[in-house]
Amino acid sequence: MNTAARYLYLVLGAIISFHYILAFTHQEYGRITSFDNIASHFRVETIQTPTFVDRNLVPLEYYAPPNPWNDTAPGRRANAAFVILCRNTDLTRIIGSIREIEDRFNRRYNYPYVLLNEVEFNDDFKKRVSVLTSAKMEFGLIPHDHWFQPDWIDEDKATEARKKMVSQSIIYGGSKSYRNMCRFNSGFFFRHDLVKKYRWYWRIEPNVHFHCDINFDPFVYMEDHKKIYAFTIAMYEYKKTIPTLWKHVKDFIDLHPEFVARNNALDFLSDDSGTTYNLCHFWSNFEIADMNFWRGAAYTAFFDYLESQGGFYYERWGDAPVHSIAAALFANKDQIQFFDEIGYEHFPYTHCPRDEETWRRGMCTCEREQSFDQDGYSCMSKWDKVIGR
């Protein structure tokens, strides 16, 4: 049951018992009260009650109201950039994504972009992408060793693993480049020369959609609230892509118990206090995060440990479980932010704000009823439980 439904039952329950008591004490009151008008009364109430603070939404003071004469959002800025990894062949799909984030957010906030690729972006790509924004845009080449499979990886063993995954029809199971990408996103993008100067990043992928206006600055909100990681969609990982990952996580923690945060979100990752991984992770094609966390001692040691196990190539470890496990264990749970406000779609899933007021204020184009949050494959109910909602 989601939070809204639980809340509804709770309030309904309270109203019914209140009326039940009144029905005994005040005879007339009991007679005019039918179940129907209790329900309609409740619906009116939910719309009128301000629910912002209760549901951990971004407070109103962070919103910059649109100004028809000067649409630049006033206020503080964070040291932040959009970071985009893509190929020359992603041109039309990345144009779509940039166009949408510009329209919904960045035309008012003007954060710079860094686009990265393991081969040079061609002139046509740079020209067509640069015209989409007045913000600064830089195009970078990824250093060879940050991208390609290291020499010490046993290629026969890696080939064998890929073959096996193909026979099991695991998505991208046979792909070397997908593995390079997952390893790069796990451990290297934040070390790139063009990215180093920034603290915060917002990851954008080709062909994603932003379904609502974002009239607040997520970076500034996160900085103010000491958040290190933000997500919009949480789901289960394919077990077969990470058969031994959790064992290595536990080995790492045995070596470095000092990195585990006191108030961590282990219960998001595990249903048995850490014995097994329940496969929940934040879907990393959307990420807003503090790179100081990835650059810090805990994550550096964690990534180096995972890298030394070779699982990015001998299995198919994704950057999503790697990032999520680190954020959930090495940060306090209140440092992880769920942005209900940000309507987001990466095929085949969409997050649409569940808060009705937010959804209307953001002029969203998504359908709340079809939001992935309510899907059986979503880990959102686990997250809600972890943070006590």
Ligand X SMILES: *[C@@H]1O[C@H](CO)[C@@H](O)[C@H](O)[C@H]1NC(C)=O
For residue 72, the partner it binds in ligand X, Mg ion, ligand GTP, none, with Cβ less than 5 to 8 A by kind, is: ligand X
The answer to whether the peptide bond before residue 348 is cis (omega within 30 degrees of 0) is yes
Chain Cα centroid distance, residue 300: 21
**Minimum distance from residue 104 beta carbon to ligand X (Å):** 19
**Binding status of residue 90 toward ligand GTP by CB under 6 A:** yes
**Binding status of residue 177 toward ligand GTP by CB under 6 A:** yes
Of the two residues 205 and 223, which places its CB atom closer to Mg ion in the complex? Answer: 205
**Binding status of residue 176 toward ligand GTP by CB under 6 A:** no
Q: What is the 3-state secondary structure (H, E, C) of the chain?
A: CCHHHHHHHHHHHHHHHHHHHHHHHCHHHHHHCCHHHHHHHHHHHHHHCCCCCCCCCCCHHHECCCCCCCCCCCCCCCCEEEEEECCHHHHHHHHHHHHHHHHHHHHHHCCCEEEEECCCCCHHHHHHHHCCCCCCEEEEECCHHHHCCCCCCCHHHHHHHHHHHHHCCCCCCCCHHHHHHHHHHHHCHHHCHHHHCCCEEEEECCCEEECCCCCECHHHHHHHCCCCEEECCEEECCHHHCCCHHHHHHHHHHHCHHHCCCCCCHHHHCCCCCCCCCCEEECCCCEEEEHHHHHCHHHHHHHHHHHHHCHHHHCCCCHHHHHHHHHHHHCCHHHEEECCCCCEEECCEEECCCCHHHHHHCCCCCCHHHCHHHCCCECHHHHHHHCCC
Asked whether the CA dihedral 102, 105, 108, 114 is positive or negative, the reply is negative
**Minimum distance from residue 15 beta carbon to ligand GTP (Å):** 45
**Binding status of residue 129 toward ligand GTP by CB under 6 A:** no
For residue 126, the partner it binds in ligand X, ligand GTP, Mg ion, none, with Cβ less than 5 to 8 A by kind, is: none
Amino acid symbol at 64: A
Of the two residues 62 and 236, which places its CB atom closer to Mg ion in the complex? Answer: 236
How far apart (Å, rounded) are the C-alpha atoms in residues 226 and 334? Answer: 9
**Minimum distance from residue 96 beta carbon to Mg ion (Å):** 12
Q: Catalytic amino acids?
A: 287
Q: Which residue is nearest to Mg ion (CB)?
A: 205
**Minimum distance from residue 45 beta carbon to ligand GTP (Å):** 41
Q: Which stretch binds ligand GTP (CB under 6 A): 24-32, 80-88, 263-271, 355-363?
A: 80-88
Residue of the chain from 173, 187, 206, 343 that contacts ligand GTP (CB under 6 A): 206
Instruction: List interacting residues with ligand X (CB under 6 A).
Output: 70, 72, 74
**Binding status of residue 85 toward ligand GTP by CB under 6 A:** yes
**Minimum distance from residue 130 beta carbon to ligand X (Å):** 23
Tokens of 231: 């997500």
Size of the site for ligand GTP (CB under 6 A): 11
Of the two residues 79 and 332, which places its CB atom closer to ligand X in the complex? Answer: 79
Of the two residues 104 and 203, which places its CB atom closer to Mg ion in the complex? Answer: 203
**Binding status of residue 118 toward ligand GTP by CB under 6 A:** yes
Q: Which stretch binds ligand GTP (CB under 6 A): 47-55, 58-66, 79-87, 333-341?
A: 79-87
Of the two residues 68 and 74, which places its CB atom closer to ligand X in the complex? Answer: 74
Residue of the chain from 78, 80, 81, 117 that contacts ligand GTP (CB under 6 A): 117
Residue of the chain from 19, 55, 87, 247 that contacts ligand GTP (CB under 6 A): 87
For residue 48, the partner it binds in Mg ion, ligand X, ligand GTP, none, with Cβ less than 5 to 8 A by kind, is: none
Of the chain, the end-to-end C-alpha distance in Å amounts to 11
**Minimum distance from residue 87 beta carbon to ligand GTP (Å):** 4
**Minimum distance from residue 362 beta carbon to ligand X (Å):** 21
Instruction: List interacting residues with Mg ion (CB under 5 A).
Output: 205, 285
How far apart (Å, rounded) are the C-alpha atoms in residues 300 and 256? Answer: 12
Q: Which residue is nearest to ligand X (CB)?
A: 74
Contact residues for ligand GTP, defined by CB under 6 A: 85-87, 90, 117-118, 177, 181, 205-206, 285
